[in-house]
Amino acid sequence: MEVLKIATAGSVDDGKSTLIGRLLYDTKSLTDDKLEAIEHSSKKKGYDYLDFSLATDGLVAEREQGITIDVAHIYFSTKTRSYIIADTPGHVEYTRNMVTGASTSQVAIILIDARRGVIEQTYRHFFINNLLRIKSVIVAVNKMDLVNFSEERYNEIKADFEKLVEKSDYEDQNITYIPVSALKGDNVVDKSDAMPWFGGQTLLEYLEKLDTVNIYNRGKMRFPVQYVIRPKTEEFHDFRGYAGKVYGGDINVGDEVVVLPSETRTKVKEIYFNDKKYQSAARRSSISITLENNVNVSRGDMIVKAKELPRIEKAFTATVSWMDGRPLLPGSKYTLQHGVNKVIAKVSAINHKIHPDFSGVENDVSSLNMNDIASVSFQLNKPIFFDAFKEHRTNGSFILIDQQTNNTAGVGFIE
């Protein structure tokens, strides 16, 4: 079955976890024992309603503080499709976890508390969703029950958000507005009786109908080699299979390809998935292939079609989202992981910091701290084979690994 991945966003207490709990409840995805646990905990906390956030806030510290700290992945399915929702934290301090949740998602739901309207965190989250090129964004104006389900208030918030959208340079983005009450269930799965003035779809109706096929610009076929399979058995004595995942377009037997970095030309001889051979494989398939000529290929190399070469360069500029407690400094070195390929990268310059509220940039920056977003130039010890992020989601992104702590310290989107 088709899987749709969704990330939530919004400030602390806007109701993300509650909304997800409500989706689970109204689609009958909560089993009796889980529901009982929620009833029990809600009662213990003295609430006279069911606190659905308890369905997703899985850590003790989260339940104690009533906030989400780390991303939780929640699963449910309808007759139409399966859903994976990333419940991300709203707290500024945990913005990096929000970036993480959004990076693997196809759709974003940005929540706004109807009482507070569009606030700085809304700007920030919308900005991050743009940076990650999330094509479908749902703006859920939540807690409508606390503003008497007022159409006027909803329109005000919608107008404010539309002003934000005008500042965005991502023109293909689809934005949908829905007034909801996560707590009461209005317009989540079922239409709200309290808001007859709203003629649009409920959240679930919208998700069910979303076209998942054309969510991303496809980009060119890229086949990064993950692992070389050499069985050395009698039957497969000379077998050399190049295992990897296909990105972008299709790969076919007979395709003229180039192996990077050696730039050797050859043809695809066989495509295997498990013990079966295929004529063709599409993006996202984890296959292994053999080549016509006996060329030297190892992990980190990339196989591309002869007429579709990527950029092969040792220096580039990227937008970086910094996620580590140790600041990024000009001149410092990191392990740069681009797909499955690792090189050493030196920060040649921090060009400018980008304000995530669309208000412009700040020049003369000497370091990047956790949650900062900036334009950074890098110098590599050897070339990598990439596309701009806008043209290729996977081949245009990389992570930076701190060489001392081994932590994933930042993520970059190549310009």
Partner 1 sequence: MTEKLLINALENEAIYIFREVAAQFEKPVLLFSGGKDSITLVRLAQKAFYPAKIPFPLMHIDTGHNFPETIEFRDKLVAELGLELIVRNVQDSIDQGKVKEESGRYSSRNVLQTTTLLDAIEEFKFDACIGGARRDEEKARAKERIFSVRDDFGQWDEKNQRPELFDMLNGQIQLGQNVRVFPISNWTELDVWTYIENEDLEIPSIYFAHKRDIFMRDGLIWSASEHVFKDDEEEVEERMVRFRTVGDMSCTAAVDSYAATIREVVAEIRDSSISERGARIDDKRSEAAMEKRKQQGYF
Ligand X SMILES: Nc1nc2c(ncn2[C@@H]2O[C@H](COP(=O)(O)OP(=O)(O)OP(=O)(O)O)[C@@H](O)[C@H]2O)c(=O)[nH]1
Among 68, 100, 105, 321, binds Mg ion (CB under 5 A): 68
Question: Which x/- pattern over 19-58 shows residues binding Mg ion (rule: CB under 5 A)?
Answer: ----------------------------------------
Judged by beta carbon, residue 121 or residue 397, the one nearer partner 1 is: 397
Query: Is 53 a residue that touches ligand X (CB under 6 A)?
Result: yes
Query: Is 381 a residue that touches partner 1 (CB under 8 A)?
Result: no
CA distance 296 to 294: 7
Query: Is 372 a residue that touches ligand X (CB under 6 A)?
Result: no
Near partner 1 in 88-127, by CB under 8 A? 96-97, 99-100, 103-104
Judged by beta carbon, residue 121 or residue 288, the one nearer partner 1 is: 288
Among 8, 17, 105, 266, binds Mg ion (CB under 5 A): 17
Instruction: Answer with the entry of ligand X, Mg ion, partner 1, none that 341 interacts with (C-beta below 5 to 8 A by kind).
Output: none
Instruction: Answer with the entry of ligand X, partner 1, Mg ion, none that 244 interacts with (C-beta below 5 to 8 A by kind).
Output: partner 1
Q: Which stretch binds partner 1 (CB under 8 A): 58-66, 153-161, 214-222, 347-355?
A: 58-66
Query: Is 16 a residue that touches ligand X (CB under 6 A)?
Result: yes
| Structure token digits, residue 75 | 């699963």
Q: Which stretch binds ligand X (CB under 6 A): 129-137, 181-189, 285-293, 376-384?
A: 181-189
Among 7, 55, 86, 89, binds ligand X (CB under 6 A): 89
Q: Which stretch binds partner 1 (CB under 8 A): 182-190, 202-210, 271-279, 367-375?
A: 271-279
Query: Is 86 a residue that touches ligand X (CB under 6 A)?
Result: no
Query: Is 95 a residue that touches Mg ion (CB under 5 A)?
Result: no
**Least separation, in Å, of the C-beta of 25 and ligand X?**
13
**Least separation, in Å, of the C-beta of 282 and partner 1?**
7
Q: At what angle do helices 120-131 and 151-167 cross, to 10 degrees?
A: 50
CA distance 203 to 187: 6
- Return the residue matching tokens 């919208």: 206
Binding site for ligand X (CB under 6 A): 10, 12-18, 51, 53, 67-68, 89-91, 142-143, 145-146, 181-183
